[in-house]
Amino acid sequence: MSVQETKLKAIADAIREKDGTSGPIPAADFPERIRAISSVPEGLRTITLTADPPEGGTVEGGGMVSDSVRVAVLAVPENGYKFSEWKENGQAISRNAEYVFPVNNNRLLQAVFVEFVFEWMPATLPSSAKWNSVTYGNGMFVAMAYGSNKAAYSTDGIAWAETTLPSSANWYSVTYGNGMFVAIVYGRYKAAYSTDGITWTETTLPSSANWNSITYGNGMFVAIAYGSNKAAYSTDSVTWTETTLPSYTKWLSVTYGNGKFVAIAYDSNKAAYSTDGIAWAETTLPSSANWYSVTYGNGMFVAIAYGSNKAAYSTDSVTWTETTLPSSANWYSVTYGNGMFVAIAYGSNKAAYSTDSVTWTETTLPSSANWHSITYGNGMFVAVADSSNKAAYAAV
């Protein structure tokens, strides 16, 4: 029996001796029942957590612990709220929702939640173009344009500068990983990579295909192609190897999380998953729809559908549950950051967010536009629009 278990047993024995009971006592009940005990075994401390306001969220991680143990407490906001700070004795002590500290005395911690207002602000890209994709990495937002050699970069998501890709092409999707930005071309075998988002070098994919989505995870860049069964992977962003998806269909979006790559298909109920980006297995989404974008965050895969109010979520990438977005729209891109899933709609000013992937709240972008791609970085959601110079940002 560990030292912690020995001390917890001692406190349980003391409670039973005091109140004359004999049954087991859950550790979560210790703080309540300890008040009836005249003495507490040496070295045990009480960590008491509260939420302010109570409806703003929940708290996890309190109870009885031994001296010198490192404890993690977690504040989880409810939909419509966001975590603000941990307080003790009226003083702010941490702005991290997960607060980790060593125990050396009793603690009374209060998680403060505030009502959340998702406010989008307009930004301007360097020129009007078909800005198709945006990503974040290494302190930089990077966007690229379809049907041109245009790319753009920004350190804050507000002020943008233009740069050039190696050639004019249908640049469709960009991601970041392992110190590298990597972009792929729809309808060709072209790709490009950059360490800074400014200077780009061209490389080749294994074959010509409608490469339209790329992600990074577990040391691997993975791309998928629309209207085929083609996928490709690379460990260095330069040399690519082709592999196959489970079926020939309209694969449209790929993401990585929790040890798995996950892809979804348009105009079907098909999805696929892989632990290595090479061997894929097929699964099904809850219904046939124009599934358009998938992301991962906070233990959940989330997909959205174009031309409907459908969304879906999964904890394991295999079994999916359908839910609803606030309204029917051309939901086009979804991302995760700072405890929130955020989706944008093409051809409107609609956006939506959720803290749990189940319940969504609608918000509005600065203007109606062909909002095409959204990403998160450095405390900011950033969206870019096709066929314009429009961008938008929301600080959270």
What would the pLDDT profile of 106-142 be if each residue is shown by its tens digit?
A: 999 999 999 888 899 999 999 999 999 999 999 999 9
Confidence of residue 238 (pLDDT cuts 50, 70, 90): very high
Q: What is the pLDDT of residue 189?
A: 95
pLDDT for 63: 87
Over the stretch 86-110, which tens digit does the pLDDT of each residue have? 999 999 999 999 999 999 899 999 9
Percent helix, strand and coil across the chain, each to the nearest 5: 10, 70, 25
Query: Is it the case that residue 277 has pLDDT exceeding 70?
Result: yes
Give the pLDDT confidence score for residue 39 in this predicted structure: 53
Q: Which two tokens stand for residue 305?
A: 């559908």
Average pLDDT over residues 287-306: 97
Q: Cα torsion for 177, 375, 373, 261, to the nearest 10°?
A: 50
pLDDT reported for residue 302: 98
| The pLDDT of residue 116 | 81
Question: What does the alpha-carbon distance between residue 358 and residue 314 come to, in Å, rounded to a whole number?
Answer: 10
8 A C-beta contact, residue 301 and residue 292: no
pLDDT reading at 3 higher than 70: no
Mind listing the pLDDT tens digit for each residue in 175-189?
999 999 999 999 999
For residue 2, the model assigns a pLDDT of 62
What pLDDT was estimated at residue 55?
94
What does the pLDDT look like over 322-359, one tens digit per residue? Answer: 999 999 999 999 999 988 999 999 999 999 999 899 99
Percent of the chain at pLDDT > 90 equals: 82
Average confidence (pLDDT) over 222-235: 98
Give pTM, 2 decimals: 0.79
Residue 218: pLDDT over 60: yes
**What pLDDT band is residue 19 in, cutting at 50, 70 and 90?**
low
CA distance 152 to 187: 22
pLDDT at 241: 98
Report pLDDT for 117: 82
Cα–Cα distances in Å, from 315 out to 59, 212, 283? Answer: 21, 25, 14
pLDDT of residue 68: 82
Confidence band for 18, pLDDT divided at 50, 70 and 90: low
Instruction: Determine how many CB atoms are found less than 10 A away from the CB of residue 208.
Output: 14
Instruction: Please provide the average confidence, as pLDDT, over all residues in the chain.
Output: 93
pLDDT > 70? residue 5: no
First to last CA, the chain: 45
Q: What is the pLDDT of residue 17?
A: 66
Distance between CA 289 and CA 286 in Å, rounded? 9
Determine the distance from the C-alpha atom of residue 226 to the mean position of all C-alpha atoms in its chain, rounded to a whole number: 24
Q: No. of H helices and E strands in the chain?
A: 2, 24
pLDDT of residue 35: 57
